[in-house]
Structure 1
Amino acid sequence: MPMVGEADGPVAVSRRIEAPAGVIFRVVTDPGRHLDLDGSGMVRGPASDAVISGLGDVFVMRMSNERHGDYEMDNHVVEYEQDRRVGWEPKPGRGHPDVHAPQGRWGHRWVFDLVPDGPGATIVTETFDGSRLPQDKRAEFGDGRAWWVESMSRTLERLDALCTGRLSP
């Protein structure tokens, strides 16, 4: 069930998944699984096989889109609560046109919240918060709220299929 905030506020999508929070958490904290989860079509895979283990971790994802071609994003883990919440702020990495920009991270954030919902089920909410993006980056991201909701809905569908065995690992 999509949840859309204010025009410049976070965009969030939730889904009930018939799997324990710990199982889901292991999938979303493994960058090696993000290609399997990606509902946007931009993720190409991790640059390393390190698993997110806590605050301050950085994992690098290979990405691609029409605007920038192939590039990497260095994702800084800024929220971490075992089996409950993980969030990261991307920073342009190798191959991205803004890799040497002085502002570093733009302040946008991806978060997965997991709330147990009875035995063996979890409400998963994926949130994209672009409210702290600089004005020029907000314009670059455009008014893509509907696009974010669609992409995040596909991501949660894929997460559901992975965690319930309907999509091969």
Structure 2
Amino acid sequence: MSHHQVSRSIVIEAPAEQIFDVLASPRRHPLFDGSGSVRGVVAGPERLSLGATFGMEMRMGLPYRMTNRVVEFEDGRLITWRHMGAHRWRWELEPRSDGTTLVTETFDYSYSGTLLYQLVGAPARNARAIEQTLPRLKRLVEEGTADPEG
């Protein structure tokens, strides 16, 4: 793994295709986002594919909009998107023999100003967000809700 990446994984009790359907639907992203910054979809397709763009309503202190482009796509297994900052959010799904799936989310900032990202604390902040996102995704897929209270 690159020095300029932050990754975390979780096992979800569902087939990879079912999890991927959630990840490939931008309208569902606010449901499992653990950072609290993804608020809603501005524009984009119902289902993402390679080269697709989608706009999101965001909030980190102040509201803003972000346009993302899918730069890696293997249906049911891998999806990666990036925006103007050049860093990437990658989701890798590894089906397991027991019917579960190992899901790994990676914040990859090796494509952009790595020193700036480190100075502003982005790797640590994004690690914490991933650690909150993965359990939310697990609950959403397994139980139908990302809210731990149901």
TM-score by length of 2: 0.88
Provide Cα deviations, 1:9-35, integer angstroms capped at 9, x if missing partner: 110010011010000000011111111
Aligned equivalents of 1:40 and 1:80: distance in 2? 23
The range that moved more, 150-159 or 45-54, is 45-54
1:146 corresponds to 2:138? no
Structure 2: runs of 5 or more not aligned: none
What corresponds to 1:125 in structure 2?
104
CA distance in 2, matches of 1:158, 1:70: 23
For 1:43, the aligned partner's letter is: V
Measured in 2, the distance between the counterparts of 1:31 and 1:157 equals 18
- CA distance in 2: counterparts of 1:124 and 1:133, whole angstroms: 25
Give the drift of 1:89: 0.6
- Residue in 1 aligned with 2:70? 77
In structure 1, stretches of 5+ residues that fail to align are: 92-105
Distance across 1 between alignment mates of 2:115 and 2:11? 36
- In the alignment, structure 1 residue 58 sits paired with structure 2 residue 29: no
Verify: 1:27 aligned to 2:6, yes or no: no
**Cα–Cα, structure 1 residues 86 and 147, in superposed 2: closer, same or farther, change >3 Å?**
same
Cα distance in 1 between the residues matched to 2:60 and 2:113:
21
Kindly provide the amino acid, as one letter, of the partner of residue 97 in structure 2. G
Q: Is the Cα–Cα contact under 8 Å of residues 52 and 59 in structure 1 kept in the other structure? A: no
Higher helix share: 2
Distance 1:139 1:146 in 2: 8
Alpha-carbon distance in 1 for matches of 2:51, 2:124: 31
Q: How far off is 1:55 after superposition?
A: 1.1
Give the secondary-structure state (helix, strand or coil) at the position aligned to 1:36.
helix
User: Size of the alignment, in residue pairs?
Assistant: 147
| 1:38-75 CA distance string (max 9 Å, x none) | 10011111113622332110011100112xx1111110
Could you tell me which residue of structure 1 aligns to residue 88 of structure 2? 109
Using the alignment, how far apart are the partners of 1:107 and 1:144 within structure 2? 13
